[in-house]
Amino acid sequence: MLDVRLRTGSATLLSLIAFYSLQGAVAAFFWWLIFTPNLRLVWKNRLVLPSIVLIGIFSTILEITGAGGLSYFFRMMVVILIGVWLLSGQKPGEFLNLGCWLFGTRAGFELGMLAGMALQNLNSLIIDFDRIRAAERMKGVRSGIQSIVPVGRVLVHGTLLRAEDTAELLAIRGYVHGGTCVPAFAGETGDLVAAFFALCAAVIAVLLG
């Protein structure tokens, strides 16, 4: 789905119905299987499986305490899969275009710029994590629970340094608020079809709920 407006809207709608009901999660999951590269996204993104494992741990605790852990696990897994699909198709500047299209060149510009920087930081975190893992393998250090704190400290420190550098760069260039942006969107025939069936999935989830 090339049009960021339809992609973001569909992802938001599907994530909401998946989060609030099991029926919605089932409908969103079938949509994900049909209209996305599905499993190829999972293998390409290294954060998917660790995220699902983490959700599985919390779900097990909820199931033991009788709080419906299995339902929670499936719903959160679908939300993660939808989020991965949304980010996998993201192109530089798309959030900026979307923000300006929705909220104008002041508030929309700032929201779009923040979203773009957040996505850039996420990519930088993945790169930093890969470098840390490579350094551990070179030194013969085994990854485990004991390495979570030092690795997390390095990642947070790197993120804060990048944020400080970005803030200084914006200040040097005299940025105050807003900006000039003429939104432009790419699209393809399948975008409308996928968005339509996302809406149908939401309607079905509401009716069955």
Q: What mean pLDDT comes out for the span 19-47? A: 86
Q: What is the mean pLDDT of residues 11-15?
A: 94
Residues in the chain: 209
- Per-residue pLDDT of 113-150, as tens digits, reads 888 888 888 788 878 888 888 887 888 777 666 677 77
Q: What is residue 78's predicted lDDT score, i.e. its pLDDT?
A: 93
Instruction: Give Rg (Cα) of the chain.
Output: 20
CA dihedral sign, ordered 32, 34, 36, 40: positive
Contact indicator for 12, 86 with CB cutoff of 8 Å: no
Per-residue pLDDT of 53-108, as tens digits, reads: 888 888 888 888 877 888 899 999 999 999 888 888 788 888 888 888 888 888 88
- Greater model confidence, 43 or 86: 86
Residue 11: partners with Cβ closer than 8 Å, 6 or more residues away: 82, 83, 85, 86
Q: What angle do CA 182, 97, 201 make, to 5 degrees?
A: 135
pLDDT at position 167: 82
pLDDT value for 68: 80
CA 106/CA 103 separation, integer angstroms: 8
Whether pLDDT at 44 is above 70:
yes
Q: CA 195, CA 112: separation in Å to the nearest integer?
A: 22
Q: Which of 43-52, 121-130, 160-169 has the lowest mean pLDDT?
A: 43-52
Q: Is 38 helix (H, G, I), strand (E, B) or coil?
A: coil
Amino acid at 186: A
* Side chain identity, residue 143: S
